[in-house]
């Protein structure tokens, strides 16, 4: 997910996207604990996407 795409989204869309990513992150952690994870690289991607969303939300709060 690119930062330009995130800046276009509304705060509600960002919050929904953040929630979905956190759910996916939890599921990947659960799969890793049971040894069933297939896409090991996805965990890092999700973590970075969550950070990007939080950065965009925080920058909008700072300018408001």
pLDDT tens digit at each of 64 positions of the chain:
899 999 999 999 999 999 999 999 999 999 999 999 888 899 999 999 999 999 999 999 999 8
Number of domains in the chain: 1
Beta carbons within 10 angstroms of residue 21's beta carbon: 18
Q: What is the CATH number of the domain that holds 51?
A: 1.10.287.310
Q: Is 17 exposed, middle or buried (0-12, 13-18, 19+ CB in 10 A)?
A: middle
Give yes or no for a contact between 17 and 53, defined as CB atoms under 8 angstroms apart: yes
The domain in which residue 36 lies consists of 3-63
User: Token pair 């992150």 is at which residue?
Assistant: 25
Average pLDDT value for the chain: 94
């Amino acid at each position: 997910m690119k930062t330009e795409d995130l800046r276009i989204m509304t705060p509600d869309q960002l919050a929904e996207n953040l929630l979905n990513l956190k759910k996916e992150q939890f599921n990947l952690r659960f799969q890793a604990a049971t040894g069933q994870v297939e896409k090991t690289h996805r965990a890092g991607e999700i973590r970075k996407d969550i950070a990007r969303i939080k950065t965009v939300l925080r920058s909008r709060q700072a300018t408001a």
